[in-house]
Amino acid sequence: METVHLKDDYIKLGQALKAAGLADSGVEAKMAILDGLVKVNGQVELQRGKKLRAGDRVEFDGNTIKIES
C-alpha cells in the first residue's frame, strides 16, 4: 500500500496517482480515471479533480493508495 501525505487540506485524484508513482503523467492519470479504472473509497470515480482528504483510499491497477495528513 502506498501512502500519500497531504501538504494542504486535500489533493486531487490525478495528482495523487502521480504522487504515488502509479501514473507517469497527468494524461495517463486522466485516461485511467475516465476509463473507470480508479476507485475512491470503493466507488468508481470519473472525476480526476476529485478532492481527496485524509482517510480516503484509492484503488488502481491492483494497488491501494492511502491518503494521510
Q: Where are the domains of the chain?
A: 2-68
Those residues whose C-beta lies under 8 Å from the C-beta of residue 23, and which sit 6 or more positions away, are 14, 17, 29, 32
pLDDT in tens, 7-62: 999 999 999 999 999 999 999 999 999 999 999 999 999 999 999 999 999 999 99
- Please state, in angstroms and rounded to a whole number, the distance separating the CA atoms of residues 38 and 46: 8
Write the DSSP string, 6-65. -SSS-EEHHHHHHHTTS-SSHHHHHHHHHTT-EEETTEE---TT-EE-TT-EEEETTEEE
pTM: 0.93
Of the options 3.10.290.10, 3.40.50.2020, 3.40.1350.10, 1.10.10.10, the CATH number for the domain spanning 2-68: 3.10.290.10
